[in-house]
Amino acid sequence: MAVFTQVSKTEAATLLSRLNLGQLTDIEGCSGGIENTNYFVSTLRDGEPHHYVLTLFERLTFEQLPFYLHLMKHLAGKGIPVPDPAADAKGEILHKLKNKPAAVVNRLKGRSELAPGPSHCAQVGAMLARMHLAGQDYPQSQPNLRGLAWWNETVPVVLPHLTPEQATLLQSELAYQNHVAASASYEALPRGPVHADLFRDNVMFDQGQLSGLFDFYFAGIDSFAFDLAVCLNDWCIDHATGRPEPERARAMREAYESVRPLTAAERELMPAMLRAGALRFWISRLWDWHLPREASMLKPHDPTHFERVLRERLEQL
């Protein structure tokens, strides 16, 4: 993610020592995102090298973060390959650095697959379903903070930056999603903890096998169908045009349903959820693009990408 907050070697080393993670040997800022400050850190403990990710949270609060961190702990305990937050001597996994909330997690092996094939999509689909099932007994609750309420609040803020045609599309789709959310079918959708941002760069593969899911800091309680739709909108489209790729989409959905079959309500509303997923990320990218914050390694994403995805989803109707 972008580096908003500079952390010195001494500051990082003090935190790592307090967590009994060893002696700091290297620290490197990470670029490529827009929400948190992330550093790759390496340590030496008992003569062995270890690798972690140090995160300082720029938007999320001390009150919000336990939901995310304990969800990761819960999923890791169920065998889902996610980062496991490190605890201090008192068992606390939420820390403070530079007067901001912070966490340290193990660094996953592998690399992101930015040009996925059907096999990658199938593995993501199956793992997403496993994650949904594993999270069903997670006791904490927090809404998806980038869900419908946030869309309704944010659209008026970004509208002045759009062309009349874009503004019409954005307002029309928002009205449609509010209509869907008031329906009985939407109320019937199975819900639980969802990742809500499981893009290609948030999944790791090691020698062709899925080795980890990370960046859970948009997670919340929402419909499982929405979470699947978010994945389909990133993993199973042509990025140049936003058009769906049927073979990859079929691989992901079939693999997901081999673990957790969709309900009738989920099947009925999947086209609406695909539109919702495109709308959510169009809005957030418009916000980040037109109302950016200062950061030393900030790289906001082009919002027109998800405008194209939304238009393609509408053409499929």
Each residue of 162-176: pLDDT tens digit?
A: 999 999 999 999 999
Q: State pLDDT tens for residues 82-138.
A: 999 999 999 999 999 999 999 999 999 999 999 999 999 999 999 999 999 999 999
**Burial profile 15-36: b = 16 or more Cβ within 10 angstroms, e = fewer:** bbeebebbebeebebbeebbbb
Domain-located, residue 3: no
In this structure, the answer to whether residues 42 and 139 fall within a common structural domain is no
pTM, to two decimals: 0.92
Residue among 312, 243, 305, 242 at smallest CA distance from 275:
312
In the Cβ-directed half-sphere of 281, how many Cα atoms lie within 13 Å?
Answer: 29
In this structure, the answer to whether residues 188 and 265 fall within a common structural domain is yes
In this structure, the answer to whether residues 273 and 173 fall within a common structural domain is yes
Domain-located, residue 267: yes
Instruction: Determine the structural domain holding residue 124 and report its residue range.
Output: 118-315
Q: State pLDDT tens for residues 181-232.
A: 999 999 999 999 999 999 999 999 999 999 999 999 999 999 999 999 999 9
In this structure, the answer to whether residues 145 and 233 fall within a common structural domain is yes
Domain-located, residue 239: yes
CA pair distance 88, 109, nearest whole angstrom: 24
Domain-located, residue 212: yes
CATH code for position 152: 3.90.1200.10
- Report the domain count for the chain: 2
In this structure, the answer to whether residues 100 and 122 fall within a common structural domain is no
Across all residues in the chain, what is the average pLDDT?
94
Q: What is the pLDDT of residue 32?
A: 54
pLDDT at 34 over 70: no
Indicate the residue among 106, 139, 161 that finishes a domain.
106
> Could you give the percent of the chain with pLDDT greater than 90?
91
> Could you give the percent of the chain with pLDDT greater than 70?
96
In this structure, the answer to whether residues 221 and 304 fall within a common structural domain is yes
In this structure, the answer to whether residues 229 and 102 fall within a common structural domain is no
CA pair distance 250, 125, nearest whole angstrom: 10
Domain-located, residue 260: yes
Q: What is the pLDDT of residue 2?
A: 62
In this structure, the answer to whether residues 139 and 236 fall within a common structural domain is yes
In this structure, the answer to whether residues 122 and 61 fall within a common structural domain is no
Q: State pLDDT tens for residues 56-81.
A: 999 889 999 999 999 999 999 999 99
In this structure, the answer to whether residues 180 and 300 fall within a common structural domain is yes
CATH code for position 63: 3.30.200.20
In this structure, the answer to whether residues 196 and 247 fall within a common structural domain is yes
Q: What is the pLDDT of residue 297?
A: 47
Indicate the residue among 106, 135, 159 that finishes a domain.
106
Domain-located, residue 113: no
Residue partners of 165: CB distance under 8 A and separation at least 6: none
In this structure, the answer to whether residues 97 and 137 fall within a common structural domain is no
Domain-located, residue 278: yes
Domain-located, residue 4: no
Residue partners of 42: CB distance under 8 A and separation at least 6: 24, 25, 26, 27, 49, 50, 51, 52
The alpha carbon of residue 32 and the mean position of all alpha carbons in its chain are separated, in whole angstroms, by 13
What value does the mean pLDDT take over residues 133-147? 96
Indicate the residue among 106, 139, 165 that finishes a domain.
106
Q: What is the pLDDT of residue 30?
A: 85
pLDDT at 248 over 90: yes
